[in-house]
Amino acid sequence: MTPPSLPGPGRRRRAVGTARVGRAVGTVYRSGFAEAGEWASAADIRAVPVVEIVEVAQLMPGMDHTGLLDLGGVVPVELRRDDEDTAGVARNSAVMAIGTIASRASGLLRQIILTVVIGSTLFADAYTLANTFPNMVYELLLGGVLTSVIVPLLVKAEKQEPDGGIAFIQRLLTMTLAVFTVITAVAVVAAPLITLLFVGDPGERPLTTAFAYLLLLEIVFYALAAVFGAVLNSRGRFAAPMWAPVLNNAVVIATGGVFLAMHGFGTPTADSVTLPQIIVLGLGTTLGIAAQAVSLWIPLRRLGFRWKWRFDWRGTGLAEARGLAGWLLLYVLLSQLGVVAIMRVAKAAGEAGGPSVAIYNNAYLLFMLPHGIVAVSVITALLPRMSRAAVDGRFRALADDLALGTRLSATVLLPAAAIMVFLGSSAGLVLFGYGNTSAAQAKTTGAVFAVACLGLLPFAVSQMQTFAFYAMRDAKTPTLVNAAAVAVRVAGAGAVAALAPVDHVLHWLMAVNSLSYLVAMVVGGMLLRRRLGTVRGRNTASTIARIAAASVPALLVTWAADAGIRAVAGTGHVGGILALLAGLLAGGVAYVCAALLLRVREVHHVLGMVQRRLGRA
């Protein structure tokens, strides 16, 4: 085979160091790609010069576009730049993952305490439904959508504006506060109508509406926190936005304690609670979000940023932001249609004697835990560099980053889904089976979570694709993709309401969610391929296939451990704890061993990240 051609004499060829690249030796080029200039035998391993800014078509078999670390050799430390290689993404993801673990763990503790205090009854349903709309805003804003729209604009302003984008940020914050204050006010006024969408029983609407008046105030604070976090991320500050929710969770946990002291240990109902108790629970939850937003102002001040009201929005680049925001608003509204359809069916099932909305909410919280720790951390680390690649017109590099994020996410999420197929019920019992929640309700929560895990990887990939479009400052295409997913969700919810037994409605609703994520992933992938020319599908699919194969032993070992422990220790809390611990340990070890045998390179990156973090602890 003819070796790849080297760049012509007119190209810039600046050597930045050397790297050992295993069997491929020669000149190596780097701009999101990796190439070698000549062939050598396996024994002929030697150092080669590294050159930057040259893009060469990939001709060498067995090599993919993921940077020097994937060539099979060791790259000197001075060449490992965070915004260009897999190790950099792993390091940034590790920083965020630690904060995300803390925030998600404290969020899980918050939900456990609330479940113990208010149970999984109709009172809990009223609180959960009233908090559904602002929580959906949370997943869309802080979970990434608004952030992913804003970060590319911030990166562009920083690169092109003489003041480094400071005035742009001030205008953006002024616009955000003005717009979302209006949206929040409208939502609060419309609280009875929002309740009407979710609650079919007129007798239950007053309590849900009372909570809605208090909880819808969260929206403006969510928006501010999202913009603050986006500014920090665009400046390379990833830790603070990941740690901020811990403060929110602490406030809500304290609120649960105050409510318990006021009401006592009995199961709360619409007749047993007082107005002050409702105000404490609702307003305390909102204060947690306010504290989260305020806490992000501190690192912004440390960066030297100062607030200044700026209403001169014309001709300053915010027109593009307004255009993107219009499509974002439509994205949110479409998503709400899906939420309303799902919640109405879940609520009807609860009223008919089946599992309640609170159980669905707790299962979805568990579903978001691995996604938030893994996928959101990877996405947040990749978004600024994808945005820079899009601004510079390096769309092949953007495709590389998208493929890299998909592989890194699959490395953890696929085996996690396999392991939780058998451990879901134990997880539900161990986490939620206390206080005013029965063991049967807790096990149902875990079983619904196990079904939800089928959608872990499709959800993560579809979100990553959405952010790739936003990196190119395209908000229209993700909205159209979301419309297809929401159509599946609404139609599926209708089918579940008509056909599913009441005891299994929530399980099938989670399956419908997973199907909608799969549709979004497929449609988004096709449109991205048309836009970028490639999404590195062959290499990514090969890696995912090996990860899936490595997950099979993990699934089998987990099943054996779960069955063995339950046979000896029983199906109560003790048996659940032992089964959960043994299954996670045995399944995790089985997966890592199988992945290493199958040469899943991304496992090395994840293990190296963990080893470095443990070494610093």
pLDDT tens, residue by residue, 456-467: 999 988 988 887
d(CA 142, CA 226): 5
- For the cut 50, the answer to whether the pLDDT of residue 566 exceeds it is yes
- For the cut 60, the answer to whether the pLDDT of residue 492 exceeds it is yes
H/E element, 271 = none
pLDDT class of 236 with cuts at 50, 70, 90? low
End-to-end CA distance of the chain: 49
d(CA 432, CA 101): 19
Long-range contacts, 45-49 (Cβ 8 Å, 24+): 45/20, 45/73, 46/20, 47/18, 47/19, 47/20, 48/18, 48/19, 48/20, 48/21, 49/15, 49/17, 49/18
Please give the pLDDT value at position 522.
Answer: 93
Please give the pLDDT value at position 29.
Answer: 33
Tell me the residue type at 293. Answer: A
10-23 mean pLDDT: 36
Residues 6+ apart with CB under 8 A from 482: 331, 334, 335, 466, 520
Residues of the chain with pLDDT > 70, as a percent, come to 72
d(CA 435, CA 600): 44
- For the cut 80, the answer to whether the pLDDT of residue 584 exceeds it is yes
Residues 6+ apart with CB under 8 A from 400: 32, 33, 65, 66, 67, 536
pLDDT tens, residue by residue, 61-115: 333 322 332 333 333 333 333 334 444 454 555 555 566 677 777 888 888 888 8
Residue 355 phi/psi, 5-degree rounding, is -60, 150
Closest to 242 in 3D by CA, of 111, 137, 373: 373
Phi-psi region of 6 (alpha: psi -120 to 50; beta: other; left: phi over 0): beta
Residues 6+ apart with CB under 8 A from 502: 349, 352, 353, 354
pLDDT tens, residue by residue, 111-155: 888 888 887 677 888 888 888 778 766 655 554 555 556 666 777
d(CA 471, CA 386): 6
pLDDT tens, residue by residue, 165-188: 788 888 888 888 888 899 889 989
Residue 4 phi/psi, 5-degree rounding, is -60, 145
Q: Provide DSSP, 506-548.
A: HHHHHHHHHHHHHHHHHHHHHHHHHHHS---HHHHHHHHHHHH
Closest to 337 in 3D by CA, of 205, 194, 471, 433: 194
Beta bridge partners, 30, equal 52
d(CA 286, CA 96): 25
pLDDT tens, residue by residue, 474-487: 878 988 999 999 99
Q: Per-domain residue ranges for the chain? A: 86-533+544-616
For 616, the 3-state DSSP assignment is helix
Strand 47-52 to strand 14-20: parallel, antiparallel, or no bridges (unpaired)?
antiparallel
270-292 mean pLDDT: 90
pLDDT tens, residue by residue, 41-57: 333 323 333 333 222 22
Tally Cβ neighbours within 10 Å of residue 311. 9
Half-sphere exposure of 530 (CA within 13 A, CB side): 6
Tally Cβ neighbours within 10 Å of residue 30. 22
